[in-house]
């Protein structure tokens, strides 16, 4: 399974995540922003947990 190292916005060490999981979260974020426009991280995170937790095999956040 291929993994990537994410970047942390405050120049801290990122986390390694499978490319499959990364792409699933990425697609959710992009789709959400296209449908709803600008939002807060809190709203985006809460919505991601609600919508992805049934299909995502590990923690969403």
> Alpha-carbon distance 46 to 48, whole Å?
5
Confidence band of 23 (pLDDT split at 50, 70, 90): very high
Of residues 18, 30, 28, 34, the one with CA closest to residue 50: 28
Q: What is the pTM of this model?
A: 0.77
More confident residue, 50 or 59: 50
More confident residue, 57 or 17: 17
Question: And the tokens for 31?
Answer: 């789709």
Question: And the tokens for 29?
Answer: 């974020």
Domain ranges (residues) in the chain: 19-61
Q: Which parts of 1-61 fold into alpha helices (H)?
A: 19-36, 41-52
> Alpha-carbon distance 58 to 51, whole Å?
13
* pLDDT digits 0-9 by tens, 27-47: 999 999 999 999 999 999 999
């Amino acid at each position: 399974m291929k993994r990537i190292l994410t970047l942390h916005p405050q120049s801290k060490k990122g986390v390694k995540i499978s490319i499959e999981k990364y792409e699933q979260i990425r697609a959710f974020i992009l789709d959400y922003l296209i449908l709803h426009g600008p939002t807060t991280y809190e709203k985006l995170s809460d919505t991601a947990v609600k919508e992805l937790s049934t299909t995502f095999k590990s923690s969403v956040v």
